[in-house]
Amino acid sequence: MFSKIHDLVTESLTFYSRKGLKNCLNDKNSPILIQIIKYGFCGLLSTIIHVIIVYTLGSTINPAIGEHISKDLKESRTIINNVFAFILSNAIAFRLNINFVFNRGRHSNTKEIILFFTVSGVSFFSGLLSIPLVFDLIDSNKGIEHLANGAFIFSSALMNFICRKYIIFAK
């Protein structure tokens, strides 16, 4: 196992030293370790955008943060805020993934977009289901919205890479 990890790291470092940072970022046929790092970065950036939108909405337009808001209202608003954030962050994730991570061409552009949003939608709804679960499992109203948002992000992110890599963009 350690020899396989060593081989992956060696392959990635050799590729990086041969190609340089800019070419590593732009080469979609880079070693799997570099692809995972790029995908992780794109996912992290999309997640940060998602969180910023959720917390901006939750602090302003559709308040869902704070103990002064009832648990039931907080739950429904947390779901609504995550729906709005999903739309924008997922569009950004698509653009980042096609620019830096995955090769296009297995499907038409329209079909890729539909598949991307479908896979993301399935992941999104699994994450969305975790919000009421957290609200049901936790009796306290203090900070529950943060746990629910974290559960949403964690559960929806688990499915995305494999589905995107092997269903949408693999040739």
pLDDT in tens, 57-107: 999 999 999 989 999 999 999 999 999 998 999 899 889 988 887 777 777
DSSP 142: T
152 token code pair: 């949403």
pTM, 2 dp? 0.75
Residue 171 confidence (pLDDT) above 60? no
Angle value at C-alpha 59, between 118 and 69, nearest 5 degrees: 100
Nearest to 138 by CA among 146, 16, 90: 146
Distance CA 162, CA 95 (A): 17
Structural tokens at position 66: 């704070």
pLDDT for 170 equals 63
User: Cα-flanking dihedrals φ and ψ of residue 96, to 5°?
Assistant: -65, -45
Helix (H, G, I), strand (E, B) or coil at 106: coil
Q: Dihedral sign, CA of 20, 90, 73, 132?
A: negative
d(CA 120, CA 158): 11
